[in-house]
Amino acid sequence: MSQDQPISNNNPKAFIPQPYRVSDGFGGLDLGPRDMMRDKENPNMLVPPPTDNGLLPNLKMSFSDTHMQLNKGGWSREITVRDLPIATTLAGVNMSLRPGGVRELHWHQQAEWAFMIWGCARITAVDWHGRNFIADVGQGDLWYFPAGLPHSIQALEGGCEFLLVFDDGSFSDLNTLSISDWFAHTPKDVLAANFGIPVESFNGIPQEQVYIYQDQVPGSIESEKIQSPFGTIPLSFKHSLMAQEPIVSPGGTVRIADSSNFPIARTIAAALVEIKPGAMRELHWHPNNDEWQYYLSGQARMTVFGGNGVARTFDYRAGDVGYVPFAMGHYVQNTGKDTVWFLEMFKAPRFEDISLNQWMALTPHQLVQSNLNASPELMKSLRKVKWPVVNY
Q: Is 330 annotated as a binding residue?
A: yes
21: left (phi over 0), alpha (psi -120 to 50) or beta: beta
Q: Please check if 112 is assigned to a binding site.
A: yes
Query: Does 352 belong to an annotated binding site?
Result: no
- Establish whether 377 is a catalytic residue: no
Q: Is 284 annotated as a binding residue?
A: yes
- The type of residue at 193 is A
* 108 marked ligand binding residue: yes
* 286 is annotated as contributing to ligand binding: yes
Residue among 333, 383, 291 at smallest CA distance from 90: 291
Measured distance CA(208)–CA(201) in Å, rounded: 17
Rounded Cα distance, 163 and 96, in Å: 9
Phi, psi at 30, each rounded to 5°: -115, 105
Domains of the chain: 3-50 (no CATH), 62-239 (2.60.120.10), 244-391 (2.60.120.10)
pLDDT in tens, the chain (392 residues): 444 443 444 444 557 899 999 999 999 999 999 999 999 999 999 999 999 999 999 999 999 999 999 999 999 999 999 999 999 999 999 999 999 999 999 999 999 999 999 999 999 999 999 999 999 999 999 999 999 999 999 999 999 999 999 999 999 998 899 999 999 999 999 999 999 999 999 999 999 999 999 999 999 999 999 999 999 899 999 999 999 999 999 899 999 999 999 999 999 999 999 999 999 999 999 999 999 999 999 999 999 999 999 999 999 999 999 999 999 999 999 999 999 999 999 999 999 999 999 999 999 999 999 999 999 999 998 877 766 566 54
Per the annotation, does 282 bind a ligand? no
How much is the pTM? 0.93
Query: Do β-strands 151-166 and 291-297 pair in parallel, antiparallel, or remain unpaired?
Result: unpaired
